């Protein structure tokens, strides 16, 4: 097979992987529907180049995470169908990555679209620009990170005592 033929073949395998994920993962279908409507909205709204880049990046991030998650699930199921704590960790961690990208996409969508739909925002938002209130989510993010870290620490201590 020629080099170009091999390249085409590898594309077709990648598309097969995407199709498989779409056919088997309900979450992937949800991501696709949400991404479709977000892009449709983006067509009609006057988004800046930066807003469009953020939007596409968020979509690609979620879809990629879901693809990796599906790959990890398949490998785990290949290794064992029985209950195993390591299998649980592998699947849960992969699912956490998807969740994180989805939360990120919701936040980006919120900031990109609220400007267009709700022009009557509090005054300081209008005067300081949307990057400023994007930054105002950082304390919330820090709080969530702290809470998760604290829970992980408590669990770690408990596991090491037993
Ligand atoms: N072999 C296993 N051993 C231990 N726990 C498992 C195992 N398989 C699945 N689990 C647990 O069940 C959860 C769901 O696993 P499952 O394979 O059904 O994924 P799923 O619900 O199809 O996820 P998704 O919706 O992302 O496809 C995992 O996150 C994990 O906590």
Interface ipTM = 0.90
Give the whole-angstrom CA distance, residue 98 versus residue 146: 20
Predicted pLDDT at 116: 75
- Is 66 an active-site residue? yes
Name the one residue in this structure whose structure tokens are 């009609």: 44
Neighbours of 66 (CB within 10 A): 24
Whether residue 73 is annotated as binding a ligand: the answer is yes
Structural domains of the chain in order of their starting residue, each with its CATH number? 3-119 (1.10.287.3610)
Whether residue 51 is annotated as binding a ligand: the answer is no
Cβ proximity of 120 and 114 under 8 Å:
no
Catalytic residue among 47, 59, 66, 112: 66
Which of 71, 91, 96 has most ligand 1 atoms within 8 Å of CB, for mutation? 91
Q: Find the 73 Cα to ligand 1 centroid distance in Å.
A: 7
Beta strands in the chain (DSSP E): none
Give the whole-angstrom CA distance, residue 65 versus residue 96: 10
Predicted pLDDT at 33: 95
Name the one residue in this structure whose structure tokens are 């938002």: 125
Give the whole-angstrom CA distance, residue 35 versus residue 22: 13
Give the whole-angstrom CA distance, residue 46 versus residue 29: 27
Q: Is 63 exposed, middle or buried (0-12, 13-18, 19+ CB in 10 A)?
A: buried
21 lines ligand 1 (CB under 6 A): no
Predicted pLDDT at 107: 87
Ligand 1 atom closest to the CA of 24, numbered from 1: 27
Predicted pLDDT at 127: 54
Q: Find the 91 Cα to ligand 1 centroid distance in Å.
A: 6
Name the one residue in this structure whose structure tokens are 């080099």: 3
Q: Find the 101 Cα to ligand 1 centroid distance in Å.
A: 19
User: What is the residue-wise DSSP string for 35-64?
Assistant: HHHHHHHHHHS---HHHHHHHHHHHHHHHH
- Ligand 1, atom 2, lies closest to the CA of 83
71 lines ligand 1 (CB under 6 A): no
Q: Retrieve residue 87's tokens.
A: 């299998």
Predicted pLDDT at 133: 60
Per-residue pLDDT of the chain (162 residues), as tens digits, is 788 888 888 899 999 999 999 999 999 999 999 999 999 999 888 888 999 999 999 999 999 999 999 999 999 999 999 999 999 999 999 999 999 999 999 988 988 887 777 665 555 555 555 556 666 677 777 888 888 888 888 888 888 776
């Amino acid at each position: 097979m020629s080099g170009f033929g091999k390249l085409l073949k590898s594309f077709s395998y990648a598309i097969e992987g995407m199709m498989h994920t779409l056919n088997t993962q309900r979450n992937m279908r949800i991501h696709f529907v949400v991404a479709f409507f977000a892009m449709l909205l983006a067509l009609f709204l006057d988004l800046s180049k930066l807003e469009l880049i953020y939007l596409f990046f968020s979509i690609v991030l979620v879809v990629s995470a879901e693809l990796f998650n599906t790959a990890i699930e398949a490998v785990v199921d290949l290794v064992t169908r029985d209950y195993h704590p390591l299998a649980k960790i592998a699947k849960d961690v992969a699912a956490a990555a998807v969740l994180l990208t989805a939360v990120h996409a919701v936040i980006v969508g919120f900031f990109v679209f609220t400007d267009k739909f709700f022009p009557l925002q509090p005054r300081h938002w209008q005067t300081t620009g949307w990057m400023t209130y994007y930054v105002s989510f950082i304390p919330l993010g820090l709080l969530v990170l702290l809470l998760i870290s604290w829970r992980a620490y408590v669990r770690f201590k408990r596991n090491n005592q037993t």
